[in-house]
Amino acid sequence: MKKHPDDERYQDQFGSSLRALSDYLGLGIQIAAGFVFFVFAGYWADGQFGTSPFLLIAGVFMGMAGMVLVLMKTLKIANRKKQG
């Protein structure tokens, strides 16, 4: 059975799309996990020290700062790939 040239091109496009999807999925999981970790850590610390809701709010801000750092790192890497 003879292969059609479009089949090979489709395989290349599918492979690159799957790699891009895995990059974005990994980024999303990393951001979500970091944010959830800091929020739950703040919630737990509030329960331990009786400081509700101050440490929870601090955990939210720390999670947000972590999200910004991850995005900045990702953008820096993407810019390097684009330039060189």
In angstroms, the CA 52 to CA 74 distance is 34
Considering its fold, how many domains does the chain have in total?
A: 1
pLDDT tens over the chain, length 84 residues: 556 655 666 667 777 787 878 888 999 999 999 999 999 999 999 999 999 999 999 999 999 999 999 999 999 988 998 887
Pure H helices in the chain: 5-49, 54-83
What pLDDT, on a 0 to 100 scale, did the predictor assign at position 62? 97
In angstroms, the CA 80 to CA 10 distance is 28
What pLDDT, on a 0 to 100 scale, did the predictor assign at position 78? 86
Domain housing 41: 5-83
